[in-house]
Amino acid sequence: MTWDEFLWFAIPAMICWISAGALVYKCKKTFIVEGLMIAGIAIFATFIIGLWIGQERPPLRTIGETRLWYSFFLATVGYFTYKHWKYKWLLSFSSLVACVFVCVNIFKPEIHSTNLMPALQSYWFVPHVTVYILSYAMLGAATIAAIIQLVNLKKDRLDDNLYKLMDNVVYIGFGFLILGMLMGAVWAKEAWGHYWSWDPKETWAFITSAGYLVYIHMRLQKYHVKFVLWMLPIAFVLLMITWIGVNYLPAAQNSIHVYSN
């Protein structure tokens, strides 16, 4: 199989995922939703395996190929987390983001730009990046919940269920964040000789996790309710700087993480 057959798998997979993501709110029969989700994942996996066999190497080299894995992991992890936690928005959200990556591969393939520099050619690349994307998605959702809760606080009507959801999503998101960081550390040891060199991106990842740790630990006690709620939007801003902003900081001119040309 080659990229020429991609559309034949991408479109059915997307139809499955999007309809699962939409039906989850309407349809009482959960097996339909789950069946669609699994079918989409299976179709997509078939393409990845086919490509693997067709190219006689694991499809991990090009940017387009790594995007295949994002879509696959987002759908899979989204499905399992949904099954475990029963948050419907989580299923729709991961389906949607998975489809965005599929569409990028359709419209802007870059499937032939194989020039991945040797340091990036590692089996840590895909899980490291994918886990971060998942964590960003979760922590983004927690931020929205925190803002809603801040409005509730103003009206003096704190929502206990919303608190529960927020804490859960932060714990899950933070779990992914730490996993991503640790994978990055092990990878850095393999590729650059040290597991933590305070490279600007690493420094900002540290700042971000400190922000979420403040939230997690302050939530264990009842004090300073407003400050604690504000911690989530603040930490999310730090996270955005880590993800996107670092490239523009003067402190990051020589970062190994700025893969610019």
Partner 1 sequence: MWQFPWRYKESIAFVAGFVFIGFMLQITVGKFDFYLLQAPVNLILGGAVIAFLILLSFARKSAFYQWISGVPLSVTLIATLLVLGLIMGLTPQFARLDPHDKDIFTVLGFRQVTSSWPFVLIYFLTLISLGSLIVRRLVAFRKQDYAFYFNHIGLWILLFAAGLGAADIKRYVMHVREGEVEWRVYSENKDVLELPVAIQLNDFEMEEYPPKLTIIDRESGESQPKNKPDYFQIDEKRPNGTLDKWDIRLEEYIHQAVRNSDSTYQAVPMPGSSPAAKVSARNKQTGEMRKGWVCGGNMAQLYMTLPLDSQYCIVMTQPEPKRFLSDIDVFMEDGSEQHAVLEVNKPLRIGSWTIYQYGYDNQAGRMSTYSSMELVYDPWLYPVYAGIILLSVGSICLLWSGNKKRKAEDDLG
* Chain positions contacting ligand HEM, by CB under 6 A: 178, 213, 216-217, 220
Residues 23-42 that bind partner 1 (CB under 8 A): none
Contacting range for partner 1; rule: CB under 8 A; set: 22-30, 32-40, 64-72, 243-251: 243-251
SS3 content of the chain, % helix, strand, coil (to 5): 80, 0, 20
Q: Which of 39, 119, 148, 162 binds partner 1 (CB under 8 A)?
A: 119
**173 DSSP assignment:** H
Please give the radius of gyration of the chain, using alpha carbons only, rounded to the nearest integer: 20
Q: Which of 176, 229, 232, 239 binds partner 1 (CB under 8 A)?
A: 176
The dihedral formed by the CA atoms of 249, 255, 256 and 257, expressed in degrees to the nearest 10: -20
Q: Which of 55, 122, 152, 247 binds partner 1 (CB under 8 A)?
A: 122
Nearer to ligand HEM, 75 or 181 (CB): 181
The dihedral formed by the CA atoms of 56, 57, 61 and 65, expressed in degrees to the nearest 10: 70
Torsion angles phi and psi, residue 44, rounded to 5: -65, -40
Q: Considering the rule CB under 8 A, would residue 5 count as an interface residue with partner 1?
A: no
Residues in Cβ contact with 187 at an 8 Å cutoff, skipping those fewer than 6 apart: 122, 124, 125, 128
Q: Considering the rule CB under 8 A, would residue 237 count as an interface residue with partner 1?
A: no
Residues 183-212 that bind partner 1 (CB under 8 A): 185-187, 189-191, 193-196, 198, 200, 203-204, 206-207, 210-211
Nearer to ligand HEM, 26 or 222 (CB): 222
Site string for partner 1, 43-82 (x = CB under 8 A): --------------------------------------x-
Nearer to partner 1, 50 or 245 (CB): 245
Q: Return d(Cα 207, Cα 88) in angstroms, integer.
A: 31
Q: Return d(Cα 113, Cα 67) in angstroms, integer.
A: 13
Q: Which of 112, 154, 155, 157 binds partner 1 (CB under 8 A)?
A: 112
Number of amino acids touching partner 1 (CB under 8 A): 58
Q: Considering the rule CB under 8 A, would residue 168 count as an interface residue with partner 1?
A: yes
Long-range contacts of 56-62 (CB under 8 A, 24+ apart): 60/121, 60/123, 60/125, 60/126, 61/114, 61/116, 61/121, 62/110, 62/111, 62/112, 62/113, 62/114, 62/116
Point out which residues bind partner 1 (CB under 8 A).
Answer: 81, 84-85, 112-115, 117-119, 121-122, 164, 167-172, 174-176, 178-179, 182, 185-187, 189-191, 193-196, 198, 200, 203-204, 206-207, 210-211, 213-214, 217-224, 241, 249-251, 253
